[in-house]
Amino acid sequence: MSPSSADHGGDHPCSRQEINGFSNDHTEVATPCTASSTLGYIVDAVPANEREKLRRIVVASAKGFSIGAGIKGGLAIFAILARLTRKKPPRKGIVVTNSDAIVEALKETLRYGLFLGTFAGTFVSTDEVIGALAGHRRTAKWRALVAGAVAGSSMLLTGLEDQHTSLAIYILMRAAVLASRCGIKSKRFGKICKPLTWKHGDIFLMCLSSSQILSAYILKQDSLPASYKSFLNKHGGKDPVILQGVKDIASGKPFTNLGAIEKYYKNMGVDVKLKPDMKVPCSIVHGNQTCTGHIFTFLLQAYQRALPVYLPVYLIPALIVHRKGLLKRPSTILTKGLLGTARSSLFLSVYCASAWMWTCFLFRIFKRCNIPMVAMGTFPTGLALAIEKESRRMEISLYCLARAIESFFTCVADAGYLPQSRRIKRADVVVFSLSTAIIMHCYAEEREVFKSKYLNVLDWVFGVPPPPCETPRCKAVEGGNIGVCSGPFLSHVYVDYLYLFQV
């Protein structure tokens, strides 16, 4: 028999509802109190250890969703604001209203939120199921590996037909870095992986990536993702007719648009006469300007284009993470953000300007322009990465390396050397699952190979207690010396993942 209101002395919420008009009504009504009581009975019936597992799954899913939706939603807001403030009319044949853009942004935000939320929930669920069925200690060495591979299939939630090769390759690069760190500290593979400890390896990777990316920007833009191609076209600072002219001379083909190039410069107030038998494309690239004068002019323009890119990247995390500190020491925090913006903008502008500088320099020395010359001239462009903050160089180089690898294999496949690769459906999901398996295995078994900022975010999302070990980082986590998802860590991770999702 259910207890009456008198048994509770009128203090129970159900008693108060009955006194307010439900005590004389003999009809069964599903009141909020009845529903909450029923839910309470169900929860109480679940063993305490099972409740903790369920709580961990729900919390991990919610936190994963908040990260995915927050990052993608923030980028969507800036994209919409840029669209609303754009003065140029849309291109012919491309008519997308502002309302359509907002709806699409909301869909993308929801997709990426569900993607990361499902990834986190699936990983924790698989981890708990395997541990319950086969024992946590017995499966400790491989459980996270399997759970990470299973959770990787959640990428399908970003779109069944949409390929996310760039994202998959980027995560593969992150997994490769972690695996190499494990190899470096291994007695068996330490000597093999020793070259990976080279101090300026990040700059070398950036040079290698630049050679492929910038060559593709000039010679084969179809090998680049559409959004990334748009990014390069904006910051490359050259009209498509100019790029086509450089492509023609580098490919050894007859010019197809010299008249269009001359008309382009004439609209800008510059009278240029181009010769069909030219050997180097300097007059195509910068008209009547000298190579040196063009570099300084381009650098100033490139810096103006770069500032709006990095201003939100640095200031938004400052407003979110250091909102309390802004009231106490606003000048210090804002100055730090503005200096970071100025430094990163200088990197991007020097990177773009040096691409044209090195190619012009090489063309003038050898008095010819061909595809190998373009690849060689764009290689030293990556040296501009030395301007960036050292802690962010590897993130940028890995991001660009992922784009370069995707572009390279696309070019190879288009050339007919990898015909079977076209038949592989959703290879991005396979690569992503393999990568997340490695990452989550390292997270569970080799925690010291992670940088503290990523380790803290993973701990915040998955809530996995660190395994006992003797490494300084594990001791710091066990002793509570590293704050989970603290301000500086969240700020760095936010900036790094903006690179991942912005294009």
Q: Per-domain residue ranges for the chain?
A: 6-45, 53-197+418-474, 201-414
Whether the per-residue pLDDT at 452 is higher than 80: the answer is no
Cα-Cα-Cα-Cα dihedral sign, residues 13, 19, 23, 25: negative
- Residue from 315, 458, 322, 491 nearest 392 by CA: 491
pLDDT at residue 464, rounded to an integer: 59
Spatial separation of the C-alpha atoms in residues 124 and 445, rounded to whole Å: 16
Spatial separation of the C-alpha atoms in residues 236 and 225, rounded to whole Å: 16
Mean pLDDT within 403-413: 87
Give 214: exposed, middle or buried? Use CB within 10 Å, 0-12, 13-18, 19+.
buried
Mean pLDDT within 428-436: 89
Q: Residue 140's pLDDT band (boundaries 50, 70, 90)?
A: confident
Write the pLDDT tens digit of every residue in 241-287. 999 999 999 988 888 888 899 999 998 888 888 888 888 888 899 88
Does residue 366 contact residue 373 with C-beta atoms inside 8 Å? yes
pLDDT at residue 50, rounded to an integer: 75
pLDDT at residue 191, rounded to an integer: 66
Cα-Cα-Cα-Cα dihedral sign, residues 415, 419, 423, 424: negative
pLDDT at residue 485, rounded to an integer: 38
Does residue 402 contact residue 173 with C-beta atoms inside 8 Å? yes
> Over the chain, what is the mean pLDDT?
77
Whether the per-residue pLDDT at 492 is higher than 80: the answer is no
Mean pLDDT within 86-111: 70
Instruction: List Cβ neighbours of 486 (8 Å cut-off, separation of 6 or more).
Output: 456
- Residue from 302, 282, 278 nearest 292 by CA: 282
Highest mean pLDDT (candidates 84-93, 152-161, 172-181, 437-446): 437-446
Whether the per-residue pLDDT at 390 is higher than 60: the answer is yes
Treating both helix axes as pointing N-terminal to C-terminal, what angle do 201-219 and 240-251 enclose, rounded to 10 degrees? 100
SS3 of 247, please?
helix
CA 78 to chain centroid: 16
Spatial separation of the C-alpha atoms in residues 448 and 125, rounded to whole Å: 24
SS3 of 464, please?
coil
Spatial separation of the C-alpha atoms in residues 405 and 170, rounded to whole Å: 10
Q: Residue 295's pLDDT band (boundaries 50, 70, 90)?
A: very high
Percent of the residues in the chain that have a pLDDT greater than 90, as a whole number? 23
- Residue from 349, 395, 400 nearest 215 by CA: 400
405: left (phi over 0), alpha (psi -120 to 50) or beta: alpha
pLDDT at residue 297, rounded to an integer: 93
Please tell me which residue, 239 or 334, carries the higher pLDDT value: 239
Q: Which long-range contacts (CB under 8 A, 24 or more apart) does 128-131 make?
A: 128/53, 128/56, 128/57
Instruction: Please report, for residues 95, 223, 276, 317, the alpha-carbon distance to residue 91 in angstroms, rounded to integers and kept in the order given.
Output: 8, 22, 30, 34
Percent of the residues in the chain that have a pLDDT greater than 70, as a whole number? 74
Mean pLDDT within 147-173: 82
Instruction: Please report, for residues 62, 169, 498, the alpha-carbon distance to residue 75 in angstroms, rounded to integers and kept in the order given.
Output: 20, 21, 8
Spatial separation of the C-alpha atoms in residues 450 and 218, rounded to whole Å: 37
Please tell me which residue, 212 or 406, carries the higher pLDDT value: 212
pTM (2 d.p.): 0.67
Does residue 124 contact residue 58 with C-beta atoms inside 8 Å? no
Give the least confident one: 25-39, 271-285, 313-327: 25-39
Please tell me which residue, 87 or 178, carries the higher pLDDT value: 178
pLDDT at residue 196, rounded to an integer: 59
Spatial separation of the C-alpha atoms in residues 171 and 283, rounded to whole Å: 41
Tokens matching residue 215: 């060559």
Which residue is listed with tokens 């381009």? 298
> Where does 135-164 have alpha helices with state H?
143-151
Spatial separation of the C-alpha atoms in residues 466 and 475, rounded to whole Å: 9
SS3 of 433, please?
helix
Whether the per-residue pLDDT at 482 is higher than 70: the answer is no
Highest mean pLDDT (candidates 98-112, 182-196, 425-439, 468-482): 425-439
pLDDT at residue 296, rounded to an integer: 93
Which residue is listed with tokens 């190499």? 180
Mean pLDDT within 402-429: 77
pLDDT at residue 349, rounded to an integer: 95
Which residue is listed with tokens 């197809």? 256
Does residue 179 contact residue 449 with C-beta atoms inside 8 Å? no
> Where does 367-471 have alpha helices with state H?
371-378, 390-414, 427-445, 452-462
Spatial separation of the C-alpha atoms in residues 188 and 426, rounded to whole Å: 35
Residue 188 DSSP label: T
384: left (phi over 0), alpha (psi -120 to 50) or beta: alpha
Tokens matching residue 431: 């690569």
pLDDT at residue 321, rounded to an integer: 63
CA 276 to chain centroid: 43
Spatial separation of the C-alpha atoms in residues 49 and 56, rounded to whole Å: 11
Whether the per-residue pLDDT at 5 is higher than 60: the answer is no
Mean pLDDT within 101-115: 84
Whether the per-residue pLDDT at 301 is higher than 90: the answer is yes
